[in-house]
Amino acid sequence: MAGMESEVLRLTTGDRLTTDITGAVARFCADKGDGLCSVFVPHATAGVAIFETGSGTEEDLELILESMLPRGARFAHRHGSPGHGRDHVLPAFISPSLVIPVLDGRLTLGTWQSVVFVDSNVDNPQREVRLSFLASA
Protein backbone atom coordinates (compact mmCIF):
# COMPACT_ATOMS: atom_id res chain seq x y z
CA MET A 1 0.00 0.00 0.00
CA ALA A 2 1.30 3.45 -0.92
CA GLY A 3 2.02 5.91 1.87
CA MET A 4 1.96 9.65 2.12
CA GLU A 5 4.93 11.90 2.88
CA SER A 6 4.42 15.44 4.10
CA GLU A 7 6.45 18.48 5.05
CA VAL A 8 5.90 22.15 5.78
CA LEU A 9 7.45 24.84 3.60
CA ARG A 10 7.99 28.06 5.57
CA LEU A 11 7.86 31.38 3.73
CA THR A 12 8.58 34.99 4.56
CA THR A 13 6.42 36.95 2.15
CA GLY A 14 6.89 40.50 3.41
CA ASP A 15 4.58 42.71 1.38
CA ARG A 16 4.75 40.58 -1.79
CA LEU A 17 1.40 39.42 -3.17
CA THR A 18 2.98 36.44 -4.96
CA THR A 19 5.82 34.07 -4.14
CA ASP A 20 6.95 31.48 -6.68
CA ILE A 21 7.34 28.16 -4.83
CA THR A 22 7.80 25.91 -7.88
CA GLY A 23 11.42 25.05 -7.04
CA ALA A 24 10.58 24.04 -3.48
CA VAL A 25 7.65 21.88 -4.63
CA ALA A 26 9.83 20.25 -7.31
CA ARG A 27 12.59 19.51 -4.78
CA PHE A 28 10.04 17.94 -2.43
CA CYS A 29 8.82 15.62 -5.21
CA ALA A 30 12.23 14.76 -6.67
CA ASP A 31 13.11 11.06 -6.57
CA LYS A 32 9.67 10.10 -5.23
CA GLY A 33 8.49 8.28 -8.35
CA ASP A 34 4.90 8.54 -9.58
CA GLY A 35 2.07 10.01 -7.53
CA LEU A 36 0.24 13.17 -6.60
CA CYS A 37 1.57 16.26 -4.85
CA SER A 38 -0.90 18.23 -2.78
CA VAL A 39 -0.05 21.86 -2.06
CA PHE A 40 -2.17 23.24 0.80
CA VAL A 41 -2.17 26.65 2.47
CA PRO A 42 -3.43 26.48 6.08
CA HIS A 43 -4.23 30.20 6.28
CA ALA A 44 -7.53 32.08 6.03
CA THR A 45 -6.05 34.83 3.86
CA ALA A 46 -3.95 33.01 1.25
CA GLY A 47 -4.15 30.62 -1.66
CA VAL A 48 -2.04 28.86 -4.23
CA ALA A 49 -2.32 29.03 -8.00
CA ILE A 50 -0.65 27.80 -11.15
CA PHE A 51 0.20 30.48 -13.70
CA GLU A 52 3.03 31.88 -15.81
CA THR A 53 5.44 34.08 -13.85
CA GLY A 54 7.81 36.77 -15.05
CA SER A 55 5.58 37.85 -17.95
CA GLY A 56 3.50 40.44 -16.13
CA THR A 57 0.93 38.00 -14.72
CA GLU A 58 1.86 38.94 -11.15
CA GLU A 59 1.08 42.59 -11.85
CA ASP A 60 -2.09 41.64 -13.75
CA LEU A 61 -3.24 39.58 -10.76
CA GLU A 62 -2.62 42.52 -8.45
CA LEU A 63 -4.63 44.82 -10.74
CA ILE A 64 -7.58 42.43 -11.00
CA LEU A 65 -7.65 41.80 -7.25
CA GLU A 66 -7.62 45.54 -6.57
CA SER A 67 -10.45 45.93 -9.09
CA MET A 68 -12.54 43.08 -7.64
CA LEU A 69 -11.57 43.49 -3.98
CA PRO A 70 -10.38 47.06 -3.41
CA ARG A 71 -8.41 47.40 -0.20
CA GLY A 72 -10.23 50.65 0.57
CA ALA A 73 -13.69 49.06 0.41
CA ARG A 74 -15.76 48.58 3.54
CA PHE A 75 -15.75 44.92 4.49
CA ALA A 76 -17.71 43.40 7.36
CA HIS A 77 -14.52 41.64 8.48
CA ARG A 78 -12.56 44.56 9.92
CA HIS A 79 -9.81 43.47 12.31
CA GLY A 80 -6.18 44.04 11.31
CA SER A 81 -4.82 46.70 8.99
CA PRO A 82 -7.15 48.79 6.78
CA GLY A 83 -8.65 46.63 4.03
CA HIS A 84 -7.83 43.37 5.81
CA GLY A 85 -11.36 42.08 5.10
CA ARG A 86 -10.29 41.72 1.46
CA ASP A 87 -7.56 39.32 2.56
CA HIS A 88 -10.18 37.00 4.04
CA VAL A 89 -12.19 36.98 0.79
CA LEU A 90 -9.14 36.13 -1.36
CA PRO A 91 -9.32 32.31 -0.83
CA ALA A 92 -12.81 32.31 -2.37
CA PHE A 93 -11.11 33.28 -5.65
CA ILE A 94 -7.67 31.68 -5.28
CA SER A 95 -7.99 28.19 -3.84
CA PRO A 96 -6.06 27.29 -0.68
CA SER A 97 -5.05 23.98 -2.31
CA LEU A 98 -4.14 22.26 -5.54
CA VAL A 99 -2.93 18.84 -6.67
CA ILE A 100 -0.20 18.24 -9.24
CA PRO A 101 0.46 14.88 -10.91
CA VAL A 102 4.06 13.71 -10.52
CA LEU A 103 5.72 11.28 -12.93
CA ASP A 104 9.14 9.79 -12.19
CA GLY A 105 9.70 12.42 -9.47
CA ARG A 106 8.94 15.37 -11.77
CA LEU A 107 6.03 17.79 -11.61
CA THR A 108 3.91 17.53 -14.77
CA LEU A 109 3.56 21.30 -15.13
CA GLY A 110 3.37 22.81 -18.58
CA THR A 111 6.32 24.74 -20.01
CA TRP A 112 5.24 28.12 -18.67
CA GLN A 113 3.43 27.03 -15.50
CA SER A 114 4.67 27.86 -12.01
CA VAL A 115 3.26 27.12 -8.56
CA VAL A 116 2.60 30.45 -6.88
CA PHE A 117 1.67 31.28 -3.28
CA VAL A 118 -0.73 34.26 -3.22
CA ASP A 119 -1.31 36.32 -0.08
CA SER A 120 -2.42 39.94 0.19
CA ASN A 121 -2.25 39.93 4.01
CA VAL A 122 0.60 42.26 5.03
CA ASP A 123 -0.19 41.79 8.74
CA ASN A 124 1.54 38.39 8.85
CA PRO A 125 4.59 37.87 6.62
CA GLN A 126 5.40 34.43 8.09
CA ARG A 127 3.52 31.73 6.20
CA GLU A 128 3.43 27.96 5.80
CA VAL A 129 2.54 25.70 2.91
CA ARG A 130 1.87 22.00 3.53
CA LEU A 131 3.34 19.77 0.79
CA SER A 132 2.11 16.18 0.72
CA PHE A 133 3.07 13.39 -1.69
CA LEU A 134 0.85 10.39 -2.21
CA ALA A 135 2.73 7.68 -4.07
CA SER A 136 0.94 5.59 -6.69
CA ALA A 137 0.10 2.03 -5.74
pLDDT of residue 1: 44
What is the model's pTM?
A: 0.93
Cβ(135)–Cβ(1) below 8 Å: no
The 3-state DSSP class for residue 74 equals coil
pLDDT of residue 2: 57
CATH class for domain 4-135?
mainly beta
Compute mean pLDDT per 10 residues along the chain, 137 residues long, and list them.
Answer: 85 94 98 97 96 94 92 77 82 96 98 96 92 94
Q: According to the 3-state scheme, what is the secondary structure of 44-58?
A: CCEEEEEECCCCCHH
